[in-house]
Amino acid sequence: MESSAQPLAVEALSVRFGGLAALSDVSFTVEPGSLHALIGPNGAGKSTCLNVLSGVYAASAGSVRYGSHELTRLRPHRIAALGVARTFQNIALSPRVSVLDNLLVARHRLMRSGFLADGLKLPRARRERAEHEARVREIAELLGLTELERPVGTLSYGTRKRVELARALCAEPELLLLDEPVAGMVRDESAAMADAISRARAELGISVLLVEHDMTFVMGMADRVTVLDFGKRIADGTPATVQRDPDVLKAYLGAAA
Ligand SMILES: Nc1ncnc2c1ncn2[C@@H]1O[C@H](COP(=O)(O)OP(=O)(O)OP(=O)(O)O)[C@@H](O)[C@H]1O
Ligand SMILES: [Mg+2]
């Protein structure tokens, strides 16, 4: 599918926490429709970067442009309204609530009737809810999710992570920010997640910015890779070039030593 997404241009981005430079002068561009990976050892600044892109953290300097919009001055809900969705490093779903209801919550941004009309079961609201539910079921199916009536807390870890991905997609984003989607997964779960992300890209034409430690996963999926170490960009290129880069090898071997 042709991508409707716009380029995301991160330029000279810096984030300071008191005396700590979590990001220093970082630049990269996520091309429309591409899967761009952001990698680096623990504490490199990857989650900080996603937090700035989604409006959770403020930038100390630099800019983030999504198409013609400057994101660094916008609050999280305004960034979401531009079509940028994210998942978190730790699962943030309501465990006692069904998969379906967790996914429907993500549609409220797109609903015209609002909570009150929906709660009162007015005919127009009922029709609108049925349309949203149909779309939610479509997205769930695309990601291989069945058993939508089950409480999220009763599902396996791998399935819950896919519910989280589905919830982000239910907001109909153009750009999806994923923070460690396969962390802690066994091989089958990780393969199911790779499949889910590939299907979402093919069907929905979205761009993806992916933070992940699992190198096999990253190198198999990414069009382009940016590498951070101690808040600085140390490499940017195709998976093949980045894997051979001496600075990248040093950063990873140094981290393992
Ligand atoms: N809210 C915060 N306040 C203070 N320091 C922070 C905050 N968030 C992150 N940091 C610090 O910024 C640095 C970068 O952290 P970040 O979480 O972005 O790393 P990361 O690359 O996502 O690491 P990991 O792979 O372990 O998830 C770390 O030194 C971290 O302790
Ligand atoms: Mg992180």
Rounded to whole angstroms, how far apart are CA atoms 95 and 48?
26
Rounded to whole angstroms, how far apart are CA atoms 220 and 194?
9
Nearest-atom index, ligand 1, CA of 15: 12
Alpha carbon of 143 to ligand 2 centroid (Å): 24
Alpha carbon of 209 to ligand 2 centroid (Å): 13
Q: Average the pLDDT over 195-208 and give the result.
A: 94
* Residue 241, helix vs strand vs coil: helix
- Kindly provide the b/e burial profile for residues 16-46, where b requires at least 16 CB atoms within 10 angstroms of the residue's own CB: eeeeebbbbebebebbbbbbbbbbbbeebbb
Alpha carbon of 238 to ligand 2 centroid (Å): 22
Q: What residue's CA is closest to ligand 1, atom 4?
A: 17
* Ligand nearest to the Cα of 22, by number: 1
pLDDT score of 122: 73
* Token pair 């980045």 in the structure block, residue: 242
- Determine contact, residues 27/234, Cβ cutoff 8 Å: no
Alpha carbon of 117 to ligand 2 centroid (Å): 39
- Determine contact, residues 29/233, Cβ cutoff 8 Å: no
pLDDT score of 115: 59
pLDDT score of 113: 62
| Helix extents (H) in the chain | 46-53, 76-81, 99-105, 114-119, 123-142, 157-170, 187-204, 215-221, 239-244, 246-256
Nearest-atom index, ligand 1, CA of 46: 21
Q: What residue's CA is closest to ligand 1, atom 7?
A: 17
Where is average pLDDT lowest: 86-90, 161-165, 182-186, 215-219?
86-90
CA atoms within 13 A on the CB side of 148: 18
What tokens appear for 81 in the block?
């309204």
pLDDT score of 256: 53
pLDDT digits (tens, 9 = 90+) for 218-257: 999 999 999 999 999 999 999 999 999 999 999 987 755 4
Nearest-atom index, ligand 1, CA of 57: 1
Name residues contacting ligand 1 (CB within 6 A). Answer: 17, 20, 22, 40, 42-48, 89
User: Which pLDDT band holds residue 120 (cuts at 50, 70, 90)?
Assistant: low
pLDDT score of 109: 74
Q: What residue's CA is closest to ligand 1, atom 17?
A: 47
Rounded to whole angstroms, how far apart are CA atoms 207 and 175?
5
* Residue 47, helix vs strand vs coil: helix
* Ligand nearest to the Cα of 255, by number: 1
Q: Average the pLDDT over 84-102 and give the result.
A: 88
Select from 84, 34, 27, 26 the least CA-distant residue to 55.
Answer: 84
| Average pLDDT of the residues of the chain | 91
The architecture (CATH level 2) of 1-83+173-257 comes to 3-Layer(aba) Sandwich (3.40)
| Cα Rg, the chain, nearest whole Å | 19
Handedness of CA 13, 19, 22, 24 (dihedral sign): positive
**Count of other CB atoms within 10 angstroms of residue 250:** 12
Pocket test for ligand 1, best of 20, 26, 57, 60 (most atoms within 8 A of CB): 20
Rounded to whole angstroms, how far apart are CA atoms 73 and 222?
29
Rounded to whole angstroms, how far apart are CA atoms 229 and 42?
9
User: Which pLDDT band holds residue 110 (cuts at 50, 70, 90)?
Assistant: confident
β-bridge mates for residue 36, sequence order = 209, 224
Q: What stretch(es) of the chain map to CATH 3.40.50.300?
A: 1-83+173-257
Please work out, in degrees rounded to the nearest 5, the angle formed at the alpha carbon of residue 114 by the alpha carbons of 113 and 117.
70
Alpha carbon of 49 to ligand 1 centroid (Å): 9
CA separation, residue 242 to residues 122, 151, 177, 235 (Å): 56, 41, 21, 6
Alpha carbon of 231 to ligand 1 centroid (Å): 9
* Ligand nearest to the Cα of 226, by number: 1
Q: What residue's CA is closest to ligand 1, atom 2?
A: 17
Q: What residue's CA is closest to ligand 1, atom 24?
A: 42
